[in-house]
Amino acid sequence: MGTALIYDVEMTRYKLLWVDPVCKIEVPERLTVSHEALVRSGLADRCISVPVREATEVEILLVHSEEYLEAVKKTPYMTLEDLKEFTLQYGDVYFHPNIYHCAKLAAGSALHLLDSVMTGKVRNGMALVRPPGHHSMHNAANGFCVFNNVAIAARYAKQKYGVKRILIVDWDVHHGQGVQYCFEDDPSVLYFSWHRYEHQKFWPNLRESDYDSVGKDNGAGFNINVPWNKVGMTNSDYLSVFCHILLPVAYEFCPDLVLVCAGFDSAIGDPEGKMCATPDIFAHLTHLLMNLAGGKLCAVLEGGYNLTSLAQSVCQTVQTLLGDPLPRLSNLSAPCISAIESLQCARSAHRRYWSSLNHAADAPTSEISTKRAKLAEKEDERPEIEEEEKSPEEEVWPEPPKRISPTIRSASVLPDDVVCPEGCQRYSSSEDLNPLVLSKLKENFLEDVDDSDAFTAFSKLITLIEKMAKDEICNGLALVRNVTTAMMCVIQHSAAAPGNRVLVVCVGNGTIPSRITKDGKTLVVHISSEDRWEERSKYYIPLCLKKGCGDTSGFVHIVFGFLLPLGYEYDPSLVLLVRMPDSGVCDGVWQQLIGLLQSFAQGHTLVLIQEEEKAFLDLTASTLLGNPAPPLEQLQAPFTDDVEALERLRHRLQADWKLLQTTVSPESGGADEC
């Protein structure tokens, strides 16, 4: 199952025909540079190219009024003066004799992409379209948009395929108010949007773009707005919102389909957004959505007005859809206070609707907000963008480096009598180990020096991680006699090399020798049913679920609320996932975990499973090979006792680990509190 790419040069054949400083950024080159970058990088060739088609009138009428359609239909025959006049009744948009044709193709592209995904021709895909769609409304064009491509696709998916729940993620920097209006009272469509807002001072200046517009009637809770009240938001701010609001709610919602309003004006260099997130963030945003809905994801282009940033961001998105290992996001800073304030407000507005958020704090009081607004400049460590001195188009950032693609995706270290999972390569090391390493290995891990089986297994493990470090192999799994010993062996070897950091994720009960977490070269996140709270340190994080790892809601709560933020901030060079025997973790959760952990270390994950649990090999291998995890069932509320204990832990840890913060005024340990 592949990735669809939809593009047609016809959609470049309209442009602004008069002088309008507001509209001049929406140019045909937006599409050509994006497509050329995909061709040049070889990504276009790896996609399945799906032809465009026009949306039919019936399809357009799924969202728009007949009156509006009839009006737009006349535009191809209008004179320049008529077009100008026609344009005036709408906000921030222009018309051209060929835009009606292009708008039909743009909506049709979204529908054709959707058909390809729903019928299983492809797993996922992206449509490069113009004009964009998310601002257009039932009765009106707006913000460069004529027909609401994604909204039409959502209605079409419900009607044609009986899709029950659709998640729309709008990562464009503008609020897709057209999408919000369309599904406001519809609980079958969950709409999420973050957007530049600046307390309503930024276009489209709507009261209803704020965090307290949560949806109406039956749709209450199914509209999530995260308004940015400052420019300059970074990768950390974006990730923090994904981890602490979007992903927990999305997993609780359990969509059958994910649609992305993929606007890239939220990236650095964009003259509209003025944000600072780098193009490689879109690799991560995409990846984090790819294990929902069994991988059914359609991304449809919206905005993006800095041609360099746009093209890079499109490439990052498509390369991720194709399944390539993710880039490392190094130097993540702490999320800024304004972003956390927005996050806190949105979480509090939604806590009554989503059990994954029902422990969320109150919104900061208005008193705090005003105080914050006045103090913001001083408190916020991030330098303000000097608009006078530098326009965002002149902003410079390094081009994202070429992403690694090891020739071997998954290798396995297995006892001879165990069948190697399909698609996985049985690893037999050809290289000899350094004698020094050998003797250390024997000395530390082998009580019985003649235990040649154990010895071979360990030397294979070590050469395997060395090949990962050389990017010859992406990930691996090993069936070992004792996972704890194997884990110690890998850590000892890996942590010896300078610059290496190992994120160890232990699932299930057992004791982890504390000496490994002393030097910061290893961060252990240990999910179990044992209360190891007393043993916690900066680099040993015990997360306890009273009912054990089989508690799906609790486990998912931990993955998004702790594991992902910690992993991103730690930025490991290797992930070691250790499955303790009898952990009780459910198959679906295990697969989601493996999928999500590939966010780190360029996908370098080594999974350790103990011999008696070889039944889980195939499942593990399949996910390591890049197959989407099956959707989890709709989640229940996690246990209150667990959540409360975890929140106490969060408050202790957030001084050390900034991405854990979900509130602006941590009760303790916060470095930014006055």
Using CB under 5 A as the criterion, which residues of the chain lie in contact with Zn ion when the complex forms? 172, 174, 263, 265, 303
Residue pointed to by tokens 């999530």: 224
Query: Cβ of residue 69: shortest distance to Zn ion, in angstroms?
Result: 24
DSSP state, residue 198 = T
Q: Which of 25, 585 has the CB closer to ligand SS9?
A: 25
The tokens describing 655, both together, are: 């001084």
3 state SS for 90-121? CECCCCCCCHHHHHHHHHHHHHHHHHHHHCCC
Residue pointed to by tokens 């179990």: 528
Angle of helix 307-321 relative to helix 281-289, nearest 10 degrees, comes to 30
Contacts of 313 (CB under 8 A, 6+ apart): 264, 267, 279, 282, 304
Binding partner selected for residue 22 from Zn ion, ligand SS9, none, CB under the kind-specific 5 to 8 Å limit: ligand SS9
Contact 472, 601 (CB under 8 A): no
Q: Which of 256, 265 has the CB closer to Zn ion?
A: 265
Contacts of 147 (CB under 8 A, 6+ apart): 55, 60, 63, 64, 103, 104, 106, 107, 131, 133, 136
Binding map of ligand SS9 across residues 9-48, x = CB under 6 A, - = no contact: -------------x--------------------------
Query: Cβ of residue 262: shortest distance to Zn ion, in angstroms?
Result: 10
Q: Which of 231, 257 has the CB closer to ligand SS9?
A: 231
Using DSSP's 3-state secondary structure scheme, residue 378 falls into helix
Binding partner selected for residue 59 from ligand SS9, Zn ion, none, CB under the kind-specific 5 to 8 Å limit: none
Contact 575, 503 (CB under 8 A): yes
Q: Which of 25, 468 has the CB closer to Zn ion?
A: 25
- Which phi-psi region, left, alpha or beta, contains residue 199 (left: φ > 0; alpha: ψ -120 to 50)? left
Helices (DSSP H) in 300-336: which residue ranges?
307-321
Binding partner selected for residue 203 from ligand SS9, Zn ion, none, CB under the kind-specific 5 to 8 Å limit: ligand SS9
Query: Cβ of residue 648: shortest distance to ligand SS9, in angstroms?
Result: 42
Within positions 572 to 631, which residues make up the interface with ligand SS9, using CB under 6 A?
none
Within positions 508 to 547, which residues make up the interface with ligand SS9, using CB under 6 A?
none
Query: Cβ of residue 656: shortest distance to ligand SS9, in angstroms?
Result: 38
Query: Cβ of residue 145: shortest distance to ligand SS9, in angstroms?
Result: 7
Cα dihedral value 147, 298, 346, 264, nearest 10: -70
Asked if residue 131 binds ligand SS9 (CB under 6 A), the reply is no
Binding partner selected for residue 144 from ligand SS9, Zn ion, none, CB under the kind-specific 5 to 8 Å limit: ligand SS9
Q: Which of 237, 265 has the CB closer to ligand SS9?
A: 265
Binding partner selected for residue 143 from Zn ion, ligand SS9, none, CB under the kind-specific 5 to 8 Å limit: ligand SS9
Q: Rule CB under 6 A: choose which of 59, 115, 172, 184 binds ligand SS9.
A: 172
Binding map of ligand SS9 across residues 249-278, x = CB under 6 A, - = no contact: --------------x-x------x------
Contact 148, 136 (CB under 8 A): yes
Residues in the interface with ligand SS9 (CB under 6 A) total 14
Q: Rule CB under 6 A: choose which of 92, 210, 280, 642 binds ligand SS9.
A: 92
Residue 64 is among the residues annotated as catalytic for this protein = no
User: Which residue is nearest to ligand SS9, using beta carbons?
Assistant: 303
- Starting from the edge strand earliest in sequence, which strands make up the sheet with 605-610, in order? 425-426, 408-413, 473-480, 605-610, 574-579, 502-507, 522-528, 540-544
Query: Cβ of residue 265: shortest distance to ligand SS9, in angstroms?
Result: 6
Angle of helix 366-379 relative to helix 337-350, nearest 10 degrees, comes to 160
Q: Which of 172, 256 has the CB closer to ligand SS9?
A: 172
Beta strands in 287-355 (DSSP E): 297-301
Q: Rule CB under 6 A: choose which of 108, 132, 273, 279 binds ligand SS9.
A: 132
Contacts of 526 (CB under 8 A, 6+ apart): 506, 512, 532, 540, 541, 542, 543
Q: Which of 303, 400 has the CB closer to ligand SS9?
A: 303
The sign of the dihedral angle between the CA atoms of 248, 252, 258, 261 is negative
Query: Cβ of residue 83: shortest distance to Zn ion, in angstroms?
Result: 23
Q: What would you report as the CA-atom Rg of the chain, rounded to the nearest whole angstrom?
A: 25
Q: Which of 172, 569 has the CB closer to Zn ion?
A: 172
Asked if residue 170 binds ligand SS9 (CB under 6 A), the reply is no
Asked if residue 143 binds ligand SS9 (CB under 6 A), the reply is yes
Residue in 96, 134, 135, 287 annotated catalytic: 135
Query: Cβ of residue 529: shortest distance to Zn ion, in angstroms?
Result: 46
Residue pointed to by tokens 């709507």: 206
Q: Which of 132, 508 has the CB closer to ligand SS9?
A: 132
Q: Which candidate, 279, 280, 237, 281, places its Cα nearest to that of 380?
A: 237
Q: What angle do CA 404, 406, 410 make, to 5 degrees?
A: 130
Using DSSP's 3-state secondary structure scheme, residue 645 falls into helix
Q: Rule CB under 6 A: choose which of 14, 68, 90, 144 binds ligand SS9.
A: 144
Binding partner selected for residue 8 from Zn ion, ligand SS9, none, CB under the kind-specific 5 to 8 Å limit: none
* Neighbour tally for 35: CB within 10 Å: 20
Within positions 296 to 325, which residues make up the interface with ligand SS9, using CB under 6 A?
302-303
131 upstream amide cis, omega within 30 of 0: yes
Binding map of ligand SS9 across residues 191-220, x = CB under 6 A, - = no contact: ------------x-----------------
Query: Cβ of residue 543: shortest distance to ligand SS9, in angstroms?
Result: 40
Binding partner selected for residue 92 from ligand SS9, Zn ion, none, CB under the kind-specific 5 to 8 Å limit: ligand SS9
- Which residues are part of the catalytic machinery? 135
Q: Rule CB under 6 A: which residues touch ligand SS9? A: 22, 92, 132, 135, 143-144, 172, 174, 203, 263, 265, 272, 302-303
